[in-house]
A and B are shown apart, each in its own frame.
Chain A
Amino acid sequence: MMRKFKKISLGLADHLVLIAISSIVILPFVWMITTSLKPPKLAFAAPYLIPTHFHWQNFVNAWHEAPFSRYYLNSIIVAVLVTFGQVFTSALAAYAFDRFEFPLKKTLWFTLLASMMVPLPLLVIPSFQIIQHLHWADNLVALIIPRCWSAFGILLLRQFIHSIPRDFDDAAKMDGASTLRVIWTVILPLARPAVATLALFAFLFAWNDFLWPLIVLNSPEHFTVPLGIANFSGKYGTRWTLLMAATVSATIPAVIAFLAMQKSLIRGLASGGVNE
């Protein structure tokens, strides 16, 4: 009885700590949603966390202010293609780095790792010059193609593929599968947690990216969501309720992406704890 009580109270204590931490994490989101539903006059008035007003007009106004549906479509096209691109190229490169022997393999590997140390803003100007030479400026292609390769993605998948026994490859090859087929039908399904992590990172990175689209895009018809949102806070004031309404709208795809990947992510974390 005593032990049971101890167990329950310990569990309760654990949960109280978890609830406290998650409340802190969730507070800004709750504030964002509540503010997005307030009339502009009451943007700074209490209550801050519980919505008492439902001024849906903010959403209508935010979406009408700029061609937000266009920005949304652009962002979705870019984020989805970048995600597929990164998973595709990273899987091929990661498999090659792990399973094949080829000249300069180590040098190439360390060069790849070193490239992760270069801060992104430093790459903007040379990248932009390349884009201009290719005549891709002010085109969504400039947001997609250069982002389809990721050193981080290759590293992540390689580490995971390394933990998959080669017996799987050999078995598939004995059945007559080509290397591509082995990667696609054997390795990637086994590496699903890592692929899900990479896909989520790639999607969120492409969805949130601000500096690169700002530099390469000039026409509003090509703008992405972050560029549109930034315009709600300007030199002559911030329109908080519209800014928050736009931000709530922009968060939805990220939440959907997370929920879609959640199962694989948790499975990935769990499988890491099993000693095989």
Chain B
Amino acid sequence: MKLTHRRLASILSLAVFATVSLGTGSAIAASKAVKPVTIQFWNYWDGGNGQALSKLVTEFNKKNPGIIVKPVTFPWGDLLPKLQSAIASGSTPALAATDIAWMANMNQSGKLVDLGAALGGIKKATGDIYPSLLTYGLYKGKLQSLPASTNNLSLFYNKDLFRKAGLNPNKPPKTWAEMRADAMAISKLGNGTQGMEIYVQPGEGLTWQFQPYLWQSGAGFLNKTNTAPTFNSAAGKTALQFLVDLINVDHAATAGQWGAFDKGQAGMRIDGSWMVGGYRDNAPFEFGTAMLPIPDGGVHATNMGGEQIMAFKGTTATQAAAVTFIQWFTSAPIQARWDVATNFMPISDSVANSNVLLKHIAEEPALKAFIDQQKYAYARPAIAAYPAVSDAFSKALEPAFYGTVSVSDALANADAAVRKALSTN
């Protein structure tokens, strides 16, 4: 098929016409009244949390005609690499909410808007938000993000299995010894029923689940300056030995695939408040919650989770729009409604004491343990090396749960691996 000159000419003229008319079209659009600023809000809140966010965002967009916020949900495990590649290539969104564990990476990017400066000073910007939650947003004297939500780990237990094992379903364990006794009683039910389910897959999941045991027994994770590990101590050994024995000596817990508790095949599990709604609607058993049991002479401790919300540098208009949204989203009335929809924990006293949230907690008694426990929540080290540290720590600990490496060796290996991760990251 050969193109004749005439045909070529007609194609070219059509292309020129199309380009010109498209160009004129956009020029006309641009000359119209001021267009609202559209900004993207990257996050990983899926399912019910995502729907709750969409509802709030729609409300915000209605109230602020000059701003259109568009939430974009990315899978949890992929949001950090997505943000890192966006930072590297200069294509960041105006807004993002990320895991608190990633904040050190975000803070160092140099792309975050100084919220303190934008909102009339740090004090004004933070109000009565709990100081422990602000550690993630403060960087070199600047406030670069605000808590968008917080949560912690407490004990979930299966009341049906407690009853079957002859235990009082309204008396969850308060100490490690009680937890061990209950787990042993439940595991005797047979049919593959486990007393307790312990998360042992390497990665942040293992670290995040194990850290409360360290803190409860008086061991630390890293020192105050986050430069060296402190878990390889007598207290650290007690903590790890307790779980290893529960699995390998008492045969009251299993180390393996996570999910037995969901199926009603495990008596207890440590998990977050966000599971409350799901279990209420879908668990094939009656469940209860309690504060995490502690060892004799130990202290209450849990791990703090959650998300920080931040604005990325862009044009004056996108930055202003992002800051307006952050201010609105972290305000007490909106946070209270957000917590009601998601079962996340309050970020400040004014949220905790709001009627909306108090009414919700009265209707959802399983949340009480989490509310009571929040004041004992420890923040994980807010350093850029944390993901590498957590990874190294969990990999060294995993074999101890399977009984293939002794507790002392596992902690010594973890100590060496964490020191290496701290020095190279």
Chain A residues engaging chain B, CB cutoff 8 angstroms: 40-45, 65-66, 124-125, 128-129, 132, 137, 214-215, 218-220, 227, 230-237, 239
B contact residues around A231 at 8 Å (CB):
46-47, 50, 73-75
A contact residues around B46 at 8 Å (CB):
231-232, 234, 236
Q: In the complex the two chains form, what is the Cα distance from A232 to B46 in whole Å?
A: 7
Chain B residues engaging chain A, CB cutoff 8 angstroms: 40, 42, 44-47, 49-50, 70, 72-76, 78, 81-82, 85, 88-89, 91, 93, 99, 259, 262-264, 272, 274-275, 278, 281-284
Q: In the complex the two chains form, what is the Cα distance from A220 to B47 in whole Å?
A: 15
Q: In the complex the two chains form, what is the Cα distance from A194 to B199 in whole Å?
A: 47
Contact, CB under 8 Å: A234 / B91: no
Nearest neighbor of B260 in chain A, beta-carbon distance: A44
Q: In the complex the two chains form, what is the Cα distance from A44 to B91 in whole Å?
A: 42
Q: In the complex the two chains form, what is the Cα distance from A106 to B50 in whole Å?
A: 54
A contact residues around B282 at 8 Å (CB):
40-41, 43
Contact, CB under 8 Å: B278 / A132: no
Contact, CB under 8 Å: B47 / A235: no
B contact residues around A125 at 8 Å (CB):
85, 88
B contact residues around A129 at 8 Å (CB):
89
B contact residues around A66 at 8 Å (CB):
73
Contact, CB under 8 Å: B72 / A219: yes
Q: Known: A235-B44, A239-B47. Is A214-B82 also a contact (CB below 8 A)?
A: yes
Nearest neighbor of A42 in chain B, beta-carbon distance: B284
Query: Across chains A and B, which 5 residue pairs bring their CB atoms closest together, nearest first?
Result: A230-B75, A44-B263, A235-B76, A234-B46, A236-B274
Contact, CB under 8 Å: B272 / A236: yes
Q: Known: A231-B75, A237-B275. Is A128-B281 also a contact (CB below 8 A)?
A: no
B contact residues around A234 at 8 Å (CB):
44-47, 75-76
B contact residues around A41 at 8 Å (CB):
281-284
Contact, CB under 8 Å: B78 / A214: yes
Contact, CB under 8 Å: A218 / B262: no
A contact residues around B45 at 8 Å (CB):
234, 236
Contact, CB under 8 Å: B284 / A45: yes
In the assembled complex, 26 residue pairs joining A and B whose CB atoms fall closer than 8 Å, in A order, are: A41-B283, A41-B284, A44-B263, A44-B284, A45-B263, A124-B85, A125-B88, A128-B85, A129-B89, A132-B91, A214-B74, A215-B85, A218-B40, A218-B91, A220-B70, A220-B72, A227-B75, A230-B78, A231-B73, A234-B45, A234-B46, A234-B47, A234-B75, A236-B46, A236-B272, A237-B278
Give, as a whole number of angstroms, the nearest-CB distance from A202 to chain B. 24
Give, as a whole number of angstroms, the nearest-CB distance from B47 to chain A. 6
A contact residues around B70 at 8 Å (CB):
219-220
Nearest neighbor of B284 in chain A, beta-carbon distance: A41
Nearest neighbor of A223 in chain B, beta-carbon distance: B72
A contact residues around B40 at 8 Å (CB):
218-219
A contact residues around B81 at 8 Å (CB):
215
B contact residues around A227 at 8 Å (CB):
74-75
Q: In the complex the two chains form, what is the Cα distance from A262 to B284 in whole Å?
A: 43
Q: In the complex the two chains form, what is the Cα distance from A45 to B282 in whole Å?
A: 12
Give, as a whole number of angstroms, the nearest-CB distance from B113 to chain A. 19
B contact residues around A214 at 8 Å (CB):
74-75, 78, 82
Q: In the complex the two chains form, what is the Cα distance from A230 to B77 in whole Å?
A: 10
A contact residues around B47 at 8 Å (CB):
65, 231-232, 234, 236-237, 239
Contact, CB under 8 Å: B274 / A237: yes
Scoring A43, A227, A232, A237 by chain B CB atoms within 10 A of each residue's CB, the highest score goes to: A237
Contact, CB under 8 Å: A218 / B72: yes
- Which residue of A43, A124, A218, A235 is within 8 Å of B93 (Cβ)? A218
Contact, CB under 8 Å: A235 / B88: no
Q: In the complex the two chains form, what is the Cα distance from A233 to B263 in whole Å?
A: 17
Nearest neighbor of A138 in chain B, beta-carbon distance: B91
Give, as a whole number of angstroms, the nearest-CB distance from A1 to chain B. 51
Give, as a whole number of angstroms, the nearest-CB distance from A26 to chain B. 22
